[in-house]
Structure 1
Amino acid sequence: MAPPVTQFELAQPPNDAISALAFSPDSPSRLLAASWDKNVYLYDTLQNSEDGAHGTLIQSFEHRAPVLDVCFGADGGEAFTAGMDWTVRRIDLATGEQTTVSKHSAPVRRVVYSREHSLLISASWDNTLHVHNPSDPSLAPLAVPLPAKPQSMAASPSKVIVAMASRLVYIYDLSALSAALSSPTPTPPQPWQQRESSLKFLMRAVAAMPSDAGYATSSIEGRVAVEWFDASAESQARKYAFKCHRQPATDGPAADVVFPVNALAFHPVHGSTFASGGGDATVALWDAEAKRRMKVYQKFADSVAALAFSADGRYLAVGVCPGFETGMEDYSGEGRTKIFVRELGENEALPKGKGK
């Protein structure tokens, strides 16, 4: 008989809204959280404190402005952050030392690290990507112009997907970015593909399939789209979009109350499974291939802002904080910001038809 599934709340959460969560590539228990309270937090989610509280806050790393994104680097010993101070920073997680990797001319919205290509890519509201090789600081970052403001970004083993305003999606080949960065005369490469989103409203999140087959995007209007990289007509005919994170209206006409889908994350082992988190305070698991919802978890107290699977796929971290859906003018996430960690059951994320 399988042991019961456990979900617990981490002690010492951030003091304001969570912007991103990231698990270590080489440890299923080390978790980074970026927050609007100008800090990045490093937790050991499985090491309980002496008073019995779940998880341990190892260290926090103060920044000069709200931190909009965080990712691990080549291993669990380094992290990179994207900030409202326009700066991309590297953090040595052992010593706490912070170094500036590059500076944009507007807030930096997202940062991703590709272990396959040893590349760090930052996306800024100055409408550029900066491509860095952190192992060779002598190389100046390669600036890649974008046609619109980036809203989200994700990396697959061979591609990086940039979801922008105006429903634009640019897909870059990581090998081409790497070659351009190390060229004696660096020239930004053209996108590998340019697409228009099938979502009619502003995109909020993007996540890449670990199988390198495609990606999913979400919008502020309670929809998710699943697409494949293969440009053939047969493959493109498989793309689809669906409604989610909606609730029936309690009064007035029979229209749904629509919430933004703030977060997406693909399962690292069961590659067609992904999680979505929304302003309706719920997290759902989906099977991208079978086009079906697998599970909806019990509702949280506030909006789901961020999601992350551990590298082994056993744990799902959920960042919860008040959203802007309620029209709050004086926003404060203090006291209501929480991080939950769910240990998945043996077959909980297994796509339909893959079980025993």
Structure 2
Amino acid sequence: MSLFGTTTGFGTGGTSMFGSTTTDNHNPMKDIEVTSSPDDSIGCLSFSPPTLPGNFLIAGSWANDVRCWEVQDSGQTIPKAQQMHTGPVLDVCWSDDGSKVFTASCDKAAKMWDLNSNQAIQIAQHDAPVKTIHWIKAPNYSCVMTGSWDKTLKFWDTRSSNPMMVLQLPERCYCADVIYPMAVVATAERGLIVYQLENQPSEFRRIDSPLKHQHRCVAIFKDKQNKPTGFALGSIEGRVAIHYINPPNPAKDNFTFKCHRSNGTNTSAPQDIYAVNGIAFHPVHGTLATVGSDGRFSFWDKDARTKLKTSEQLDQPISACCFNHNGNIFAYASSYDWSKGHEFYNPQKKNYIFLRNAAEELKPRNKK
């Protein structure tokens, strides 16, 4: 039996449940709490593509599991199913038709989860943990791209146990993003590579990192013609770089900005600097969200170079975030991100996923 019901979009019924919960440190923004959240740190989130009716949310965790929820119009979440790896799940993504979910794990394998049959099979193998996974839909091929700490990028036809292609990376893969026909991969030692995916994947350009510290997250953005044109790269040092692939004026168009830091620079107190754990672009407005180890999310307009909003501080880091396909929902995960080492891990602390109505807050200021 299929897991999918026949619900339609989200946020069509006015404010519904938004803002109806009580305030406390774990949910200072009064956002909707997803039911039955994972039992360990949440490493990745992904919403279903627009081809599916309704909204489904996938989360992967350090409890080795991948969970799926249906998000209803009211904001209520219904747990639908879950699958297991034998190691922490580091990344998840959807097929373009919404029938499959792909999962990457520390167990050195990637799996394909068929949501209609609720069966999961292994589709990829590496010699070290698999850090990133992305579905590529090209006119002449479809495949899954996996990036690993074994310093390879592999491309898989899900019907074969051998990769279609293996590309060597200069270092371990730390983060990646894909919007056809472009992929970007950021590695250890501040490596940064752009790939073109037309006809077959190939290296397009290696880029000197605009950031001086370890890469943590990357997200591709599109231009007004809906074509991928650049990316935002986040580091462990509370900074994001906006980088265009072929800008008219690189010195002017590319820039970095500080974020996820405590105590403004104007105070005499030392500034606490936190990792940027996730970046997501709004699918309609092109504005972006960042989440950090400081337990805050912020919304930004990269074109106007302004901050639109910063949240109150949660009582633990925000480890991942994503938007749904029409940008009405912003999902973010509150859980320990290991940024202070294992000695600060508290297994008694609950992990949360929150849903926020994002339709208005991410509009550029000059658009009403």
TM-score, reference length from structure 1: 0.87
- In 2, are the aligned partners of 1:322 and 1:333 still within 8 Å (CA)? no
Shift of 1:331: 2.4
Q: 1:32 aligns with which of 54, 58, 63?
A: 58
Aligned residue number for residue 147 of structure 1? 170
Letter in 1 for 2:233: T
Aligned residue number for residue 350 of structure 1? 363
Matched, 1:322 2:336: yes
Equivalent runs, 1:60-209 vs 2, <5 Å? 60-116=82-138, 118-134=142-158, 137=160, 140-178=163-201, 189=202, 191-209=203-221
Q: 2:291 aligns with which of 277, 280, 284?
A: 277
Structure 2: runs of 5+ lacking an equivalent:
1-12, 20-30
Alpha carbons of 1:290 and 1:231: their partners in 2 closer, same or farther (altered >3 Å)?
closer
Structure 1: runs of 5+ lacking an equivalent:
179-188
Distance 2:33 2:347 in 1: 16
Distance 1:335 1:93 in 2: 30
Shift of 1:231: 5.4
Partner secondary structure for residue 330 of structure 2:
strand
Letter in 1 for 2:80: I
Shift of 1:301: 2.3
Shift of 1:132: 1.9
Partner secondary structure for residue 193 of structure 2:
strand
Note the alpha carbon deviations across 1:2-44, whole angstroms, 9 max, x for none.
Answer: 9555430011000000110000003452000000101000001
Note the alpha carbon deviations across 1:208-261, whole angstroms, 9 max, x for none.
Answer: 1143111100010100100101155x1453100011100018xx9522110101
Note the alpha carbon deviations across 1:161-220, whole angstroms, 9 max, x for none.
Answer: 001111111000011535xxxxxxxxxx3x201101111100100011143111100010
Aligned residue number for residue 181 of structure 1? none
Partner secondary structure for residue 350 of structure 1:
coil
Shift of 1:299: 2.3
Distance 1:84 1:326 in 2: 20
Partner secondary structure for residue 246 of structure 1:
coil
Alpha carbons of 1:330 and 1:82: their partners in 2 closer, same or farther (altered >3 Å)?
same
Note the alpha carbon deviations across 1:94-145, whole angstroms, 9 max, x for none.
Answer: 22211111211110001011234533110000000011233x5387331110
Distance 1:74 1:3 in 2: 29
Matched, 1:264 2:287: no
Shift of 1:54: 3.6
Partner secondary structure for residue 253 of structure 2:
coil
Distance 1:193 1:125 in 2: 21
Distance 1:146 1:138 in 2: 21
Alpha carbons of 1:36 and 1:341: their partners in 2 closer, same or farther (altered >3 Å)?
same
Distance 1:192 1:21 in 2: 28
Distance 2:211 2:87 in 1: 32
Matched, 1:46 2:72: yes
Letter in 2 for 1:115: K
Shift of 1:352: 2.8
- In 1, are the aligned partners of 2:49 and 2:94 still within 8 Å (CA)? yes
Aligned residue number for residue 224 of structure 1? 240
Alpha carbons of 1:115 and 1:352: their partners in 2 closer, same or farther (altered >3 Å)?
farther
Identity of aligned residues (%): 29
Across the two proteins, how many residue pairs are aligned to each other? 334
Distance 1:63 1:150 in 2: 20
Aligned-pair RMSD on alpha carbons? 2.3
Letter in 2 for 1:126: D
Distance 2:64 2:166 in 1: 26
